[in-house]
Structure 1
Amino acid sequence: MAEYERSRTMPAQPERIFDQAADLGRLDSWLPDDLHVHAEDLPAVTVHEDRTDQDTSALLRAEPDQMRIEWGTREQGSYAGWLQVAGIGSGASEVTVHLSFFDDRHDPGERAAADALEGSLRRLEEQVRRDTDNPAG
């Protein structure tokens, strides 16, 4: 089993960040570029991976009261992850993303996982900043 985790401080209230991260219509804007989530009958979703051109049945749950999003594969149970938003005061928040790979065949390796996590956190922060700077758009 392999686990990877990254955190990033973002200059926004935790509720704003969580709302951005949990918006199903905007997941593609912060997820790794080659992953696309299609909602079915929540919590059921399908994740399409461009690199392999495969669809995977998954689950996605957003827990607003905990400011946490959890996801994972349905049938094979090979992968799971979560995103947690926590306020740290002064209008800032810490966002942590965690990935667990229970099947070595799905583990992209430490470097690729770290790059994907860092990129996702960076894109989420850019999205939150854009919406904070331009609340109407």
Structure 2
Amino acid sequence: MTEYERSRTMPASPERVFDRAADVGRLDAWLPRELHVEMEEPPAVTVHEDGSDHDTAALLSARPEQMRLEWGTRDQGSYAGWLQVAGLDAGASEVTVHLSFFDDSHDPGGRAVTDALDTSLRRLEEQVRPRTGDAAG
């Protein structure tokens, strides 16, 4: 088994971050660009990977009271992950994403996974960053 974990501080409340991360209709806005999630009968989802043109049966569950998302493959049990949002002082949040590959043949390698996690966390931060209006000079 191989595990990866990355964290990022975001300038938004934990509620705002969790609500955006858990919005199934907006997952494509922060997940790796090659992954697309289609909701089925909750908690069932199908994950499509552009690179391999492969669909994977998965589960996705949100635990708002814990500000936590959990997911994993349905049939093979080869992959699982979670996202946890924690509040920090001054309305900021820390978001941690953890991935576990139980089958090494599904692990794309450390560099690919950490790059994807960092990019996803950056994209999520862009989604929750407060927007500033036009500044009067």
TM-score by length of 2: 0.95
- Match for residue 19 of structure 1? 19
- Match for residue 69 of structure 1? 69
- Whichever of the two has the greater Rg, that structure is 2
Q: Which amino acid aligns with 1:126?
A: E
| Secondary structure in structure 2 of the residue aligned to 1:16 | helix
- Match for residue 133 of structure 1? 131
- Match for residue 54 of structure 2? 54
Q: Which amino acid aligns with 2:116?
A: A
1:56-135 equivalent positions in 2, closer than 5 A: 56-129=56-129, 132-133=130-131
Aligned equivalents of 1:30, 1:72: Cα separation in 2: 18
Unaligned runs of 5+ in 2: 133-137
CA drift of 1:81 comes to 0.3
| Secondary structure in structure 2 of the residue aligned to 1:108 | coil
Unaligned runs of 5+ in 1: none
Per-residue CA deviations over 1:54-94 (Å, capped at 9, x if unaligned) read: 10000000000000000000000000000000001111110
Q: Which amino acid aligns with 1:8?
A: R
- Match for residue 33 of structure 1? 33
- Match for residue 135 of structure 2? none
Per-residue CA deviations over 1:83-126 (Å, capped at 9, x if unaligned) read: 00000111111000000000011001000000000000000000
Aligned length: 132
Aligned equivalents of 2:126, 2:32: Cα separation in 1: 14
| Secondary structure in structure 2 of the residue aligned to 1:65 | helix
Aligned equivalents of 1:45, 1:111: Cα separation in 2: 27
Q: Which amino acid aligns with 1:24?
A: V
- RMSD after superposition: 0.8
| Secondary structure in structure 1 of the residue aligned to 2:82 | strand
